[in-house]
Homo-oligomer: A and B are copies of this chain.
Amino acid sequence: MPTIVVDVMPKAELLDPQGKATTGALARLGHDKFENVRIGKRFEFTVDGEVTDAVLAEVRQVADEILSNSVIEDVVAISVDGEAR
């Protein structure tokens, strides 16, 4: 069955406290090569049947309206079986 992946990240212009804390913790543990870490969400949708344009449009709508909070987050990528759409 095809898998649609939706990636949601905190907006670039906003502070990501979770990522900031992770960056600091990694540095304290000796992993100081990383300038910055940001943490977002990854959704995997399994679709029964073919991924048509209608299905993709529905995923896009769900991603924008339900899975992400557009005030603080961006939908950065939607891909089908590894291919960006």
A residues sitting closer than 8 Å to B (CB atoms) are 1, 7-9, 19, 22, 25-26, 29, 31, 33-49, 55, 58, 62, 66-67
Contact = CB atoms under 8 A, between A and B. Distances in A.
Given A29-B66, A31-B62, A66-B29, A37 B44 contact: yes
Given A26-B66, A66-B26, A31 B44 contact: no
A45 B41 contact: no
A35 B62 contact: no
Copies per complex of this chain: 2
A21 B41 CA distance: 16
A67 to B, nearest CB: 8
A19 B7 CA distance: 14
